[in-house]
Structure 1
Amino acid sequence: DNHPELEQFSPHDDRRPEAVAAALTAQGLQPVWKDWDSYLGRASQRL
């Protein structure tokens, strides 16, 4: 096989969650860290 495997994504990201949220928001996206707490009967926390 002459086609080496390519890395799908870098698993190492030094950004803090706040920086990731800001980058997503800047692109018009809404960061959702997890959305199943209400289903489990627990209150969720927001950044």
Structure 2
Amino acid sequence: MQRKLLLIILPDVSLSSSLVQRAHFLTIYVNIYIYFITNLKIKEAN
């Protein structure tokens, strides 16, 4: 079950370039998420 889930998330592990792209998009997503959270906290503080 867990192995199948990993295959869905990373269907092309052999393609390192695609893996790097995924990591890049994940980083962008996390940065946007952190940006929104900090903005909300700043708005609450004011």
TM-score calculated relative to the size of structure 1: 0.33
**Which of the pair is proportionally richer in helix?**
2
Higher relative contact order, structure no. (Cα contacts within 8 Å, ≥ 6 residues apart): 1
TM-score calculated relative to the size of structure 2: 0.33
